[in-house]
Structure 1
Amino acid sequence: MIEAAMIWNEPNNKSHWDPFVDPDWSKFADTVIRAGAAIREMNPAVTRVLGGMSPIDPSWVERMRGHGALDAVDVVAVHGFPLDWNLWPIHAWPDKIAEIEAVCPDKPIWATEVGVGSFGAEEVQVFGFTKTAELLLDRVPRVFWYSLYDLPHAWGATTRHREAEGSSYYRHFYMGLIREDGTPKPALDDYAKVADRMGLMQWFHYQDPRLDEAVAWMKRLGTRRLRTGLSWADSFRPDAIDWFDQQMEALADFDVTVTFCFTPEHLGIEPHHTSAAKDPQAFADFCAWMIDRYAPARSTVLPAAVAAE
C-alpha cells in the first residue's frame, strides 16, 4: 500500500531541479503547494513528504517555509551520503538531523535516502551500514537505505555532468547491497538484521527486469517499507500505465513511499527532466491521478498519523 507520497526527489540538487530556470525556488514551491493539495484531496490519509533534500540545507528549508511550501506537506525529508558525496563525517548524522529540526520544529524529519557505497571496498560499506543504522534508526521515524541493487553500468546515472564528475559519477554504480550480477555483498547480512525497521529505497526503471527478483529479495529479507518512484516523464511512454500497474501490484505487500518527479521534456520550461514545468498544475494533476489509481481514499485517517509514529 502507499503510505506516503514524496513531492520530487532532491529538488535542491541541481541534477534534479534546474536552478537557472527557478533561481528563487518560487516555481518549485508553487509545484509543492499544488501537488500537496492534490494529494490531500485524493486521499487525506497519505502522508505528504517534501522531496528529500540533498545536500542537507537548513537555509533551503527556511526558503521553502517563506514561500509557503511547508504548509502543503506533513514531513520534511533528508538524504545523506557522508562517505561518498557529502563533506561531513558519518558520525555527524544526528547533528545534520538536528539542523533541520531547528528550522522545522513542527514537522517530523525522515531520512529517505541514506547510503554508503562499495566503490573503494565492500568492507567500507559494511562499516557505513552498521554505523548509519546505529545513528539513525532510533533518531527518526523513517530510514530508507539506498539501495537494494547496484545500478547497472550500461544504464547510466541521472546526473548533470556524468563522467566529467570523475569518481563522484562512478560511485553511483556501487551503492547497492546486491551487485549488478545479482550476487549479495557482505553488508546485505547486516541489513537483514534490521530489515523490519529500515526500509529500502530502490528506483525501478521503466519496464525494469529486476522488479520480480527485487520483490522476492525484500520478502526474504523481511523488508516492510520501500521507497520508489513513479515518473511523470515516464507516464508519456508507450504502455506506461501497464508498467505502473505492474510495478504497484508487485509492491502491494510493502508500505510504499512513492516519489513523484521528473518533468516530461515537452512540458518543461526547458526541455529537460530537471526543469520546472510550464504549468505546475499539470504535475499536481499527475500526482492526483496516481494517488486516485493506487491509493484511493478508503477512510478518514488523519494525514499525519504515520508521520507522528
Structure 2
Amino acid sequence: MIEAAMIWNEPNNKSHWDPEIDPDWRLFAEMAVAAGQAIRAAHPTLPRVLGGISPIDPAFIRNMESRGVLDQVDVVAVHGFPLDWNLWQIGEWPAKIEEIRAVTSLPVWVSEVGVSSFGAEEVQAWGVERTAELLVGKAPRIHWYSLYDLPRAWEATTRHREAEGSSYYRHFYMGLLREDGSPKPALDAFARHAPALGLCQWFHFEDHRLDEAVAWMRRLGVRHLRTGLSWADSFRPNALAWFDRQMEALAEFDVTVTFCFTPEHRGIAPHHSSPPQVKEEFAAFCADMIRRYAGTGTVRAAGG
C-alpha cells in the first residue's frame, strides 16, 4: 500500500517550515532524524524520502548531510515549477537534478513538478509534454502536481497568500482537471506519458474527490501516486476512519505518503509550519502510520 515514506514537505520553503523559529534548520534536522529512525524501526526496508525541496538548493542538502539527516533517509526529492514560480527556465530541469546529484549519492526523485493553466490551458498542455521530454528516464520517480485544481473556496497552503499577486492564484490552476471535474487539454498530454509520469494529489480531510480521483487514475494508467497523511488532521474526530478510507481507496497504487503539518497545539508556534514542541511526537505519528498501512495491503478497523 505504501511504496515510500516522505518526511515533511518543502522544508526549505517558509510556507511549510518557519525559518524565523528555526533559521538554520537545526530543529528540522533533529525532527527528521527522529522520524527516519522511527520509520526504520517500524519497517525494516521501506524507503524513506527527505521532503521534496523547493527551491532546489544544494546548500540545503549539504546542511542536512552535516546534521545527520541523510544517514536516516534513502532518497532526496526536489520540486520545480519553472513556468509559474521558479526563476529558471523549464529547459534547465536536467541541470537542476545534476546540482543535487553533485552533493549526494542518494537517488533524486522529482516529487512535484507542474504547470498551471492560469495563463492559458494550451501552455499547461505544452508544459506536460516538455516536462516528460526533459525528465522521463532522468529520475526514478516523477510526480505531476496535480490531478485536480484546488477548489476556489479553499485556501492554498502558503504563507504569502494574496500578497503574492497573481502567483497566489496560480495555486488554484495546477490540475489536469478543473474544479468541476472536467478535463483540460493537459489531461490527454499526461495520459500519453503515464505511467512514466506519476501524480501528486493532496486529499483534504474527508475529501469529496477521493473516489472520483481513483477512477481517473485507473483510466489514465497511473501507477505512482504521492499524497499525504496530516499529523494535524490526526487530532480531528474520526481521523483514523478517514485515513483508513483514503489509504484503502489508494491501495492499488504505489503510494509515497508524506507526513507533515504540525498540529497548532503541538507547535512551538500555533501554525502548521512550526517545529513541534516535542520532535518524538511527530516521529511516533510517522511510525504509527507505517505500522498501520505499510506492507500489508489491508487496513485494520478504525481504532484497531
Common fold, TM-score beyond 0.5?
yes
Q: Which runs of 4+ in 1 moved over 3 A?
A: none
Counterpart residue number, 2:301: none
For the residues of structure 1 that align with 2:119 and 2:24, how far apart are their CA atoms?
A: 38
Aligned-pair CA distance for 1:113: 0.1
Counterpart residue number, 1:253: 252
Return the letter of the residue paired with 1:32: A
* 1:217 alignment partner, SS class: helix
Aligned-pair CA distance for 1:194: 1.5
Return the letter of the residue paired with 1:280: K
Return the letter of the residue paired with 2:35: A
Counterpart residue number, 2:182: 183
Counterpart residue number, 1:26: 26
Whether 1:161 aligns to 2:160 is yes
For the residues of structure 2 that align with 1:297 and 1:218, how far apart are their CA atoms?
A: 22
The TM-score with structure 2 as length reference comes to 0.96
Return the letter of the residue paired with 1:149: Y
Counterpart residue number, 1:58: 58
Which runs of 5 or more residues in structure 2 are unaligned? 298-304
Q: Note the alpha carbon deviations across 1:114-151, whole angstroms, 9 max, x for none.
A: 00010000010011110100110110110000000000
The TM-score with structure 1 as length reference comes to 0.95
Say if 1:42 and 1:297, in contact at 8 Å, map to a contact too: no
Say if 2:176 and 2:186, in contact at 8 Å, map to a contact too: yes
State the aligned residue count: 297
Say if 1:111 and 1:144, in contact at 8 Å, map to a contact too: yes
Counterpart residue number, 2:263: 264
For the residues of structure 2 that align with 1:94 and 1:204, how far apart are their CA atoms?
A: 30
Return the letter of the residue paired with 1:247: Q
Aligned-pair CA distance for 1:267: 0.5
- Taking the TM superposition and a 5 Å limit, the aligned residue runs for 1:186-201 are 186-201=185-200
For the residues of structure 2 that align with 1:110 and 1:29, how far apart are their CA atoms?
A: 20
Say if 2:9 and 2:258, in contact at 8 Å, map to a contact too: yes
Q: Note the alpha carbon deviations across 1:82-114, whole angstroms, 9 max, x for none.
A: 00000000000000000000011x200000000
Counterpart residue number, 1:133: 132
Whether 1:222 aligns to 2:221 is yes
Which runs of 5 or more residues in structure 1 are unaligned? 299-309
- Taking the TM superposition and a 5 Å limit, the aligned residue runs for 1:72-151 are 72-104=72-104, 106-151=105-150
Say if 2:2 and 2:295, in contact at 8 Å, map to a contact too: no
Say if 1:43 and 1:297, in contact at 8 Å, map to a contact too: no
* 2:175 alignment partner, SS class: coil
* 2:102 alignment partner, SS class: helix
* 1:263 alignment partner, SS class: coil
* 1:177 alignment partner, SS class: coil
Counterpart residue number, 1:291: 290
Say if 1:152 and 1:173, in contact at 8 Å, map to a contact too: yes
For the residues of structure 1 that align with 2:225 and 2:90, how far apart are their CA atoms?
A: 23
For the residues of structure 2 that align with 1:296 and 1:197, how far apart are their CA atoms?
A: 23
Return the letter of the residue paired with 1:96: K
For the residues of structure 2 that align with 1:271 and 1:77, how far apart are their CA atoms?
A: 27
Q: Note the alpha carbon deviations across 1:206-237, whole angstroms, 9 max, x for none.
A: 00000000000000111001000000000000
Return the letter of the residue paired with 2:168: Y
Say if 1:44 and 1:297, in contact at 8 Å, map to a contact too: no
Say if 2:114 and 2:128, in contact at 8 Å, map to a contact too: yes
Say if 1:34 and 1:284, in contact at 8 Å, map to a contact too: yes
Return the letter of the residue paired with 1:227: R
After superposition, the Cα gap between the structure-2 partners of 1:70 and 1:39, relative to the gap in structure 1 and judged at 3 Å, is same
Cα-Cα RMSD: 1.0
For the residues of structure 1 that align with 2:169 and 2:35, how far apart are their CA atoms?
A: 33
Return the letter of the residue paired with 1:225: H
For the residues of structure 1 that align with 2:26 and 2:161, how far apart are their CA atoms?
A: 28
For the residues of structure 2 that align with 1:158 and 1:247, how far apart are their CA atoms?
A: 20
Return the letter of the residue paired with 1:59: A
Q: Which moved further from structure 2: 68-77 or 156-165?
A: 156-165
Counterpart residue number, 1:301: none
* Percentage identity across paired residues of the two chains: 70
Counterpart residue number, 1:305: none
* 2:138 alignment partner, SS class: coil
Aligned-pair CA distance for 1:45: 2.2
Return the letter of the residue paired with 2:224: R
Counterpart residue number, 1:242: 241
For the residues of structure 1 that align with 2:296 and 2:200, how far apart are their CA atoms?
A: 25
Whether 1:204 aligns to 2:203 is yes
Counterpart residue number, 1:273: 272
Counterpart residue number, 1:306: none
For the residues of structure 2 that align with 1:296 and 1:242, how far apart are their CA atoms?
A: 19
Return the letter of the residue paired with 2:110: A
